[in-house]
Structure 1
Amino acid sequence: MTLPPHFTTLDLSGRFVLNPTLSDSVDDILSLQGITDATLRRSFAHGILSFNHCIGEDDGVFEHIWVDQELEGQRIHSDEKLALDGRERVHYDPLLGPVVGRISRVKTHRLEPPFLRSGWTPDTRKYGVLNYHVSSGGGRGWVADETWGIEEITGLRHFARHIEFTGADGKNVESHLVYDYVGSI
């Protein structure tokens, strides 16, 4: 299902599933993160990604997103609270171990490489993408720079992520992930 017409990066609240037809494969990124189990990789492609985007004061930060990822057929559940203030925070991911991340709202013209800033809808460019920089905290040495926003694909609006990923071995992967909206939180 496509996004409701009112949906923008000012409120990403909703439930999403990866659209494998419109998305690049995540296999290279998962492999570089040390996730080699084929069943686990498939569960990523069919799991539910949920966002609860909150605006308002909480711990001195104006904007928060609670990210919840349920992997299909797995008892693994990742729950992360992100404060859109650009400050680094450590989070323990059940699959990846400790990760260090920071997220903020950024105007697209400020982003490098061009892959991170291209393809967004006019409202996403107006309000900014969410730029999430995350790296392994357990010595595995990978880094991901992501942009989250809205794209129009074949005339339909979708939530999307652009990921610029560098593995510990220096291998770079660009991945474009497109999601179908499956409902509100």
Structure 2
Amino acid sequence: MAAPANKNIKDLNGKWIINKTHSDSTDPVLALQGIGWMTRKALGLATVTLHTKMYTKTPEDNAAAGDVIHIDIDQFATGGVKGTSEHRALDWKYRPHSDWLFGELQGRSRLTTLDAVRKEAREEGGTKASDAEYVTEGFLAETEGGETIESWVDNEGKKWTGWQIWGFATVNGERWLVRKFAIRRKDKDEVVKVRLCYEWAGELDS
């Protein structure tokens, strides 16, 4: 189902289902991240729903930032697969995270623009520039000319980084939420790039 017109990058409150038909396979990504075959198989068969809540407050560990947007995401999977939770503050400050699937890592997120992402990637050069070409392409004008969410994750223990850009794109002739990922090994020249497409599944239960 298409995202409602009132949903935008600053209001993703609600339920979103990963559509496997229109999304790329996550198996190569999970393999690069060191996830075992049995777990990858179970995740590949499961239907994953994101319950997303966005709100504004001052981060307890970064009071100088003032009020910033926070995103809490609880992921629920069918088939007996355990879900995960994500908690982001869009202030570009690294914070630790740990869960059963990815282990110990640190990540940061922010509101930015695609032009700013491209400019920063060009200045850095190397693989960042080539990855930027992928993660910033294919979005609707509202994302191309407006704001996007950028997230960066670093898993030192399992030697990979994950870069993602969130926005809206045309999928199946409709406006859907899309996240584009570039996942790289830190210890060798290996990268997997995927697009995940999210169908609107309704507001959160009150």
TM score, norm. by length of structure 2: 0.82
Specify the structure having the higher radius of gyration (Cα).
2
1:101 lines up with 2:102 in the alignment = no
Per-residue deviation at 1:183? 1.1
- State the AA in 2 paired with 1:136: N
In structure 1, the residue matched to 2:193 is 174
> By how many angstroms is 1:159 displaced?
0.6
Structure 1 residue 122 displacement after superposition: 2.0
Q: Please, which runs of 5 or more residues in structure 2 have no aligned partner?
A: 122-131
**What percent of counterpart residues are identical?**
26
Which aligned segments of 4 or more residues in structure 1 are displaced greater than 6 angstroms? none
User: What's the CA shift for 1:154?
Assistant: 4.1
| Count, aligned residues | 183
2:69 pairs with 1:68: no
| CA drift at 1:106 | 1.3
2-structure distance, mates of 1:76, 1:21:
22
Query: Alpha-carbon deviation of 1:8?
Result: 0.7
Q: How does 1:1-185 map to 2 (within 5 A)?
A: 1-35=1-35, 36-37=37-38, 38-43=40-45, 46-59=47-60, 60=63, 61-111=67-117, 112=121, 113-137=132-156, 139-167=157-185, 168-185=187-204
Per the TM alignment, residue 173 of structure 1 is displaced from its structure 2 partner at its CA by 1.0
Q: Secondary structure at the match of 1:127?
A: coil
Q: Normalized against structure 1, the TM-score is what?
A: 0.90
**Can you list the C-alpha shifts for 1:34-80, whole angstroms capped at 9, x where unaligned?**
2221442325x511122111124453341100011112222512122
Kindly state the Cα deviation for residue 124 of structure 1 after the two structures are TM-superposed: 2.0
SS of the residue aligned with 1:165?
A: strand
Aligned to 2:129: none
Q: Secondary structure at 2:52's aligned position in 1? A: strand
Deviation at 1:11, TM superposition (A): 1.0
Higher share of residues assigned strand? 1
Question: Which runs of 5 or more structure 1 residues have no equivalent in the other structure?
Answer: none
Contact 2:43 2:81 in 1 (8 A): no
What is the match of residue 128 of structure 2?
A: none
